[in-house]
Amino acid sequence: MTQSLPPQQEAAEPSGVTDFRCGTVAIVGRPNVGKSTLMNALVGQKISITSRKAQTTRHRIVGIQTTDDAQFVFADTPGFQTRHASALNRSLNRAVTSTLSSVDVVLFVVEAGYFGADDEKVLALLPKNTPVLLVCNKLDRIGEGRSEVMMPFLEQMGQRFPFTEVVPMSAKTHDHIQRLLAIIRPYLPEGEPMYDVDAMTDRSERFLASEIIREKVFRWTGDELPYTSTVVIDKFETEGRLRRIFATILVERDAHKTMIIGNKGSKLKQISTEARLDMEKLFDGKVYLEMWIKVKSGWADNEAGLRAYGYE
């Protein structure tokens, strides 16, 4: 079950620890390098949604992992956008730059063995006075001759930036995740935890519900549906362990609405079913979900519209 606690509330401190460490860790990189998958693995719970779409993560999502001797507060940021100058993309980029200015450690995530022009643009944003760990993710995708690929790659990366640590890994491998947590810990400042020891995110269930629906929309429409579609929670009611959720999917055009509905409503039904099941697992209770689709042209390129739908 997802639990959250506002930072201003007093948090419970683990007992018997004299040098407890707690700090914030930004996860940054270009789109589609596996940042959200990495954070979910680090937290041990699905907090940030994932899909093949490059602009899936749109908000600064905080995930929390508390161990006996440390609390890691991870911030999963949107992939830095370089190709379109829409109001939405400007909002995504502000989320990245603002996060980098206020954290204790930065994880710069790249695909193992690959560094392109979009990676270079994110590299230029990295702070010089904060520990930056280079995380070479998706190591499992490199087959035979891994050392022949990685050795020259790591040497080249070391010439690009003074990384504090270099960590080749796969976010899908448990041992790699544990090793990364151990590497991060010494760079966190000593101090009491900011959140309750059982907290996994600072986001509300209402927010997580909208993200889960958006993930299913993207996954079931593939590359056909423009990434500018979003989800608004119209009503979120709790009755004991039952959640009643009423949501609207916003799209740009009538054709996009038809695309989501599918033949005789089949695709919308599949989206709704998968979203509901994910919510029930995350919230540890039954969920009643109703969804509608509404055409709202131009919302993603309107600053006022973005703020109305929860974008900074």
Question: pLDDT tens digits, residue range 224-249?
Answer: 555 567 888 999 999 999 999 999 99
Q: For residue 50, what pLDDT band results from cuts at 50, 70 and 90?
A: low
Residue 137 has pLDDT above 70, yes or no: yes
* Cα(28)–Cα(241) distance, integer angstroms: 36
Q: pTM score, two decimals?
A: 0.72
Q: How many residues does the chain have?
A: 312
Average pLDDT, the chain: 81
Query: Same domain, yes or no, for 243 and 162?
Result: no
Query: Same domain, yes or no, for 169 and 212?
Result: no
Query: Same domain, yes or no, for 94 and 213?
Result: no
Query: Same domain, yes or no, for 50 and 85?
Result: yes
Residue range of the domain that includes 257: 205-308
Query: Same domain, yes or no, for 177 and 39?
Result: yes
Q: What is the CATH number of the domain that holds 57?
A: 3.40.50.300
Query: Same domain, yes or no, for 59 and 177?
Result: yes
> Per the structure, how many domains does the chain have?
2
Residue 7 has pLDDT above 60, yes or no: no
Query: Same domain, yes or no, for 218 and 149?
Result: no
Q: For residue 13, what pLDDT band results from cuts at 50, 70 and 90?
A: very low
Query: Same domain, yes or no, for 37 and 130?
Result: yes
